[in-house]
Amino acid sequence: MEKARKEYADKFSLPVVFASFIKPPYGMFTSMLNCAAIAYALRKYKSELFQTTISQPISDEALCTMVTDLFKMWKDGKSDSNSKMLLRFGSKEESDLTKLLYDTFDLGHTIKAKPDDVKSLDNAKWYIQEFCKLYAKQPLWTLVHIPSLSEDLKNAIQSLIAIFAQEAPPVEKIKAIYRNIKNNHVELLILITNVDNYEKGFVNFVDSIEGIKIEKAWWNEMLEKLSQLPSEIAFRKESDVEKAIYQFYIIAVR
């Protein structure tokens, strides 16, 4: 596995990595004992191994299934690459960013998420979506519209938003996002966990839309209209929200 870590920068197939185990003259017998030995040896790396299809740390059940399937292949004398047995090593940078996101959004307090539940960057992204839906009740980009917000904080928020833009961001991108958030961690924590800031940012965003003026009497009706947008709150694009508000305004002034 250490050889695989060095040789495969992206993903690798378990049968290919272990192909030498069935080569003569010292190939392993496909016995239950040897199957257990392989599974036990892999336990050391389990917390670092990710399934490529869902970008999640591999579960005990999935690893067990993978080892069982591997031995079935060996029984047939095969050790070819198999898309169902693709794995990758999670990077230190990915782990560091995951922990930083947990702290920055104070997920343990804001939505009662346990640290052990946030094991990967994808986990963190899911919990941030829940944060936007249950706690902030607004997309993260509304914070950018808070009056007099510093450029450093605006850039840091944009870095947070960028996490959702790529399914599997490269290491260099993760490093850049980590640095930007880390350098503004205290200010971001205070900004992000104050629910009132989302309201301030959203109101300022609505007020800044050119050519329209939303009357106070229309506000609740407009929010109801926005709640019908098909995308999750965390993924709502600024342009889509602005378009929906325009459409609401045109109907309201008729």
What is the reported pLDDT for 79? 67
Tokens 């998420």 identify what position?
A: 113
Whether the model pTM is above 0.75 = no
How far is 161 from 125, CA to CA, in rounded Å? 10
How far is 58 from 64, CA to CA, in rounded Å? 10
List phi, psi (to 5°) of 251: -70, -40
What is the reported pLDDT for 189? 95
Closest CA to 178 of 98, 252, 66: 98
Q: What is the pLDDT along the chain (254 residues), one digit of tens a residue?
A: 777 767 776 677 777 777 777 666 656 666 677 777 777 777 777 767 777 766 667 777 888 888 888 778 777 777 666 777 787 776 778 888 999 999 999 999 999 999 888 878 888 888 999 999 999 999 999 999 999 899 999 999 988 888 777 666 777 888 888 999 999 999 999 999 999 999 999 999 999 999 999 999 999 999 999 999 988 888 889 999 999 999 999 999 88
What is the reported pLDDT for 133? 92
- The total of other beta-carbon atoms located within 10 Å of residue 101's CB is 23
**Residue 135: DSSP 8-state:** I
Alpha helices by DSSP H, the chain: 2-7, 14-17, 32-43, 60-75, 92-104, 107-110, 121-130, 151-162, 171-183, 185-192, 195-207, 219-226, 238-252
What is the reported pLDDT for 203? 95
